[in-house]
Structure formats: C-alpha cells, structure tokens
Chain A
Amino acid sequence: ELKVEQNPLFLSMQEGKNYTIYCNYSTTSDRLYWYRQDPGKSLESLFVLLSNGAVKQEGRLMASLDTKARLSTLHITAAVHDLSATYFCAVVPNTGNQFYFGTGTSLTVIP
C-alpha cells in the first residue's frame, strides 16, 4: 500500500520563526506537489517538483525534493500569520498518474 506521511501533523509557531514540514512517501516517484488549504476552502497549488534535487521558492516558502530518500520538505522562513493553513503534499507514482495525498500539516502562526 502506498503511503504518504507528513510530519508534524500539527504545528504551532511564533511569527518570525523558521520551521520545516516533512513529507515521506513509499513509492518511486519523481513528481511531488505541495498544496495549501484554508479552513472550509479548496486546495491551492503551491509548488510542483518534477526531479531529484528540485528546489522552488515563493515568498517565505521553499520546497525541495530528494527522490532517492523519497522525501520532500517545505521550509517556512520568518513565519507570518497569513501562512496559517493546512499544507498537503501529494505524490504521483512513476507507474501511474493519480495523486496520493499526505495526511496534511495544520500550521498555526501565533503573533
């Protein structure tokens, strides 16, 4: 069974601090996606990572992919309240074209 695990599941951090969310997966995949979801809302695409060593940055968020370790990270720099949301990673196995989502990380940034 394919597994996509995120940790932590819940994260409470102070404004201005840095932190990293981890996404581990159990299949061979070169395609990893990060999404953001606000309460009661749909999913918003953040990053698309398509190769080993891929790194993408947007504002205070930076995502990376290590396909050999089957690991992606989402790094938050100098957190602000507006980043409070749930973050999901999703992988597409090399043998398929379906997204498998992680468990989600609920981030709360405290002023």
Chain B
Amino acid sequence: EAEVAQSPRYKITEKSQAVAFWCDPISGHATLYWYRQILGQGPELLVQFQDESVVDDSQLPKDRFSAERLKGVDSTLKIQPAELGDSAMYLCASSSDLNYGYTFGSGTRLTVV
C-alpha cells in the first residue's frame, strides 16, 4: 500500500537552531499539506501545495517557517530559528481526490529544548 514518507521521525533541537523536515507524498498526488499537531489538540494546517504552487499558507508563521515543493513532488518544511513553542508533531499529508480524503505520513515529533 502506498505511503507518505516523512523524515526524520524524531528531532530534538535547541532553541534558535534551524530544523528541517522532509516529506515525499504518494506518487501522483498533486496536493500536499503540512499540518502541526500540538499534544492534546487536533492538527492545524500550516501550508497547502497544489503541485509546486502554494495554495494556502495563511497559518504559516512566515517570520520563521518556510516551505517549498520545488518540483511538485517532495517537500521540505523549515523552521529558523526554532522556539520552545514549536515543539509538536509535524504531519505531512497528500491527496489526489478529496473523495478519498487525505493520507497522512508517520509524522516528525519535534522537541525544542
């Protein structure tokens, strides 16, 4: 069964350092999403791509977060500098058709110390 690949699974970083997460969606899925899930809460959208274009990044803290999907396939989410409040699970999801919903990756658990 096709999966959304994410790496790393876990990341511990010191505040003020830079950190990056990678996501490879299911082949052929044009839409890619990055969500942030704080412990005990539901996921919240950070950025949505359609192919290589950003569709929605209204919730992305652009002073420290950036995201790209250069060739419309895999994607990178970067935080610089990391803050303590960024500690969360970062989930990538992809979709070809919302009639089938999203497929989520295994996530990256970020801890900022």
Q: Does B25 contact A (CB under 8 A)?
A: no
Interface size on A, residues (CB 8 A): 22
Q: Mark A63-106, 1 if CB is under 8 A from B, else 0.
A: 00000000000000000000000001010100001110111100
Q: Does A12 contact B (CB under 8 A)?
A: no
With A43-B91, A102-B42, A103-B42 given, is the CB distance from A31 to B98 under 8 Å? yes
Q: Does B72 contact A (CB under 8 A)?
A: no
With A40-B109, A42-B91, A43-B91 given, is the CB distance from A103 to B41 under 8 Å? yes
Number of A-B residue pairs at CB separation under 8 A: 49
Which of the segments B13-21, B63-71, B80-88, B99-107 contacts the partner chain? B99-107
10 additional contacts (CB under 8 A) given A40-B109, A88-B43, A103-B42: A35-B104, A43-B43, A45-B103, A48-B101, A92-B98, A97-B98, A98-B56, A99-B102, A101-B43, A104-B42
